[in-house]
Homo-oligomer: A and B are copies of this chain.
Amino acid sequence: MKKIAIVGASGYSGEELVRLLLRHPQVELAAVTSRQYAGQTVAQVFPRMAGMPAASQLRFTESNPDLISRSAEIVFLALPHGVAAEYAIPLLNNGLTVIDLSADFRLKSAAVYREFYGHDHPDPTLLEQSVYGLPEIHRAAIRKARLIASPGCYPTSILLPVVPLLRAGLIQPDAIIADSLSGVSGAGKKAELDYLFVECNESVRPYGLPKHRHLSEIEEQLSLAAGRKIIIQFSPHLIPVNRGILSTIYLAPAADLRTEADIDAFSRRVTQCYAGAYGGEPFVRLLQGKALPDTKNVVGTNMLEFAWRLDPRTGRLLVVSAEDNLLKGASGQAVQSMNILCGFEETTGLLG
């Protein structure tokens, strides 16, 4: 049984992490911390877990790095961006493995970090050491990682469908548009007017156009896959669901598609590309036949499902993906990375 701690487990992804790790058969949740909830049991703070026996035993504590270093081997950080980096440093120095759910270690380039976050990174050398925790893309590196930067919810929904196409040279790298819809839990558990029920219900709205912070990690990962600098169009929207992200992605094939034969040939290449990339993946599902993604089919699971269509009228390749922003888009994926680096079966605690 690996000993685990979760630091800052008071928000929505923190809650999911606690739930996943409490029921995980190969780990022991040794500590959960939160300044706000210190002293209370998990069952008191998250009543929906009250039925799990351990939730009544386990109590939130203050987030003392030294105490945590003594009680845990692996630490999940569910802290606000900026705070996580400061917190990770002593843990790493104490020899622990850190899986960070914030954006603090997701970029390789300190310059891009500065451009998008408006200040210098507190420890740029850690950017080099960290592994971007997208198992389907970086599994080998995750296996040996000591610092994992678990991806954001939007990036996961865009990278998984696009990276294989880029690697295979099937699409033009300069013409990527991702139009994404997110449930309100993606905004976090913050007492702000914008996220009140009455302001979100019966409402749909874009935000952060045209330069959302998550662009930086999406573009960096796409650039890695393409072997060249990529800039994309990304438009996030808020929709009135608790959980779920749907991304509709517009791509330009890197091939002339004038005849039906062209189209058939290209379709076969896409089919093969995805079969090769995701044929054996337990948490990526390519929909068959006429099925199109629907967030309700993935919410509550660690699955990303997607479908693609080649439009013979426009010559464009459309890909639509859906995931649970708190699971495959955050905590489920972080546990998947943990399973990999611990040598557990990758799906442990993440099915059903």
Contacts and interface: CB of A to CB of B under 8 A. Distances in A.
A248 B203 CA distance: 15
Contacts of A195: 196-198
Nearest to A174: B314
Nearest to A287: B47
Interface in A258-292: 282-283, 285, 291-292
B12 A198 contact: yes
A166 interface: no
Interface stretch (A26-34, A58-66, A134-142, A300-308): A300-308
A318 B352 CA distance: 37
A55 to B, nearest CB: 10
B51 A205 contact: no
B305 A47 contact: yes
Interface of A is mostly: loop
Interface residues of A, number: 77
Interface stretch (A89-97, A124-132, A143-151, A228-236): A228-236
A309 B210 contact: yes
A200 B202 contact: no
Complex copy number for this chain: 4
Given A231-B314, A239-B240, A48 B202 contact: no
Interface stretch (A1-9, A79-87, A178-186): A178-186
B203 A296 contact: yes
A203 B241 contact: yes
Given A51-B282, A305-B47, A201 B294 contact: no
A209 B318 contact: yes
A282 to B, nearest CB: 7
Contacts of A299: 48, 202
24 contacts: A51-B282, A51-B285, A53-B351, A177-B250, A184-B197, A196-B196, A197-B197, A197-B200, A197-B242, A201-B241, A202-B243, A202-B296, A202-B299, A203-B294, A204-B244, A205-B294, A209-B309, A209-B320, A210-B314, A231-B314, A233-B318, A235-B318, A239-B240, A300-B300
A-B pairs, 8 with minimum CB distance: A23-B352, A203-B296, A210-B311, A197-B200, A205-B294, A47-B297, A179-B179, A184-B197
Given A197-B201, A201-B240, 19 more contacts: A22-B352, A47-B297, A47-B305, A51-B285, A51-B303, A51-B352, A53-B351, A181-B204, A184-B198, A196-B197, A197-B242, A202-B244, A203-B296, A204-B295, A205-B293, A206-B246, A206-B248, A207-B292, A237-B248
Interface of A: 12, 19, 22-23, 47-48, 50-53, 177, 179, 181, 184-185, 189-193, 195-207, 209-211, 231-233, 235, 237, 239-244, 246, 248, 250, 282-283, 285, 291-303, 305, 309, 311, 313-314, 316, 318, 320, 322, 351-352
